[in-house]
Amino acid sequence: MNLNNLFPHQKSFIEHCRNVQHLSEYSIGMINSDIGNFWKYYSVKFPNDTNIKSVTSSDIRDYLIQLDQKEHLSKKTINKYLSYLKKYFVFLTENKFINSYPLFNLKGISFQRRETIIINWMPYISQFLDSDIHSETMKLLIVISLGYDLDQLLKVRWLDVSDKLNDSGLKKFLFDNLTFDKTPNPYIFQGKRVARYTSIDRITSKTKKDQKIIDFPINPRKLRQSYVLSIISKQDLSDEQLLSKLHISRKSLGYYKFCSNYYHLAPYKKATSSQLGY
C-alpha cells in the first residue's frame, strides 16, 4: 500500500482502520485511495487553504457531484466514497484533529436533485444597512461584491475600495467602521492587536451569526461562488472578458461554467423589513 502522505493524518487513520476497526487490507486500500483522490481535488480547488479544518460539507458535496458529472461513476459507488469520507472525518473529529464533524447534514445523495444557489444579490446589499447585521458581515458582502477573491480578502484596504463604491451609504458605512488613527489606509478586516486578520476563519466566526437574517449563504466561499456564477450566468461576456473580470484561470472558468449549468441558479429577491428584523 502506498502511504506517501496522500491526505492529512493518513498514517494514523490507516492504523485506526487496521488495528481498531479491523478492516481488510483490500478495504483499507480502497479507503486510502478514495480519500487521497478527494484531498487531491480539494488541494487543487483551494491551493491556498489546504487545511483539513477548513473542509465543509459543501466542499464534499461538490466533490461528489464531480464524480457524478465528470467521472460518470454510479450512484452506488459515489455513496460508497461518501461512507469512506464520513469514516475519515469521524476519526478526525474523535481525535480532535478538526474542531467539529462537517458532515451531519450530508446523507446519501440523489443526484437528480440540484442544489439551488442564490445569485445577483450584489445590488441589494444596502438594504441590510439599518438591520442588526454584524459589521464584518456587511464588510464581507461589500468586498466580495467588488470582485475580490478569497486570496485577496484579508489584504483589501480602504483605498482599494473607496473609489469603487458607487453607493454612498455603503461607502459611509465602511468609513464609519474602520479605524484611521494609525494609518490613512486601514485594512477592511482590521485586527485589534495586529493590522489585519490573518485567517478567514475570523470572518466566518462572526458572519455565521447573521445567517438566520440573510436568506442566502454568507460564508466567504459560498459568497464568492455565487458572485462568480452571477457574472457567468449573464452570458454577455466572452471567455476572455470573464477571465479578465473574475481574475481566474481557464481551468477555474471551466469549473464555474460547469456549475452554472449543473446547479439551479435563482436570482435574489429583496427581503421584506420583517425578514430583516426591523
Is the separation of the CB atoms in 225 and 125 below 8 Å?
Answer: no
Q: Can you tell me the mean pLDDT for 133-139?
A: 93
Start-to-end CA distance of the chain, whole Å, equals 60
pTM value is: 0.62
Segment 56-79, tens digit of pLDDT: 888 888 898 888 878 888 888 888
* Alpha-carbon span 16 to 13, nearest angstrom: 5
Is the separation of the CB atoms in 138 and 206 below 8 Å?
Answer: no
168, pLDDT greater than 80: yes
Q: Can you tell me the mean pLDDT for 16-22?
A: 91
pLDDT at 107: 60
pLDDT at 277: 45
β-pair partners for 264: 116
Q: Can you tell me the mean pLDDT for 162-180?
A: 94
* Helices within 4-113 (DSSP H only): 10-19, 25-45, 57-69, 75-94
Helical (H) or strand (E) element with 264: strand 264-267
pLDDT at 275: 45
Q: Can you tell me the mean pLDDT for 150-156?
A: 93
273, pLDDT greater than 90: no
β-pair partners for 157: 187
pLDDT at 235: 81
Segment 194-245, tens digit of pLDDT: 688 888 888 988 888 898 888 889 989 999 999 999 999 988 889 999 999 9
Segment 233-258, tens digit of pLDDT: 988 889 999 999 999 888 888 888 87
If one counts every other C-beta atom within 10 angstroms of the C-beta of residue 34, the result is 20
Only one residue has cell 484561470, namely: 249
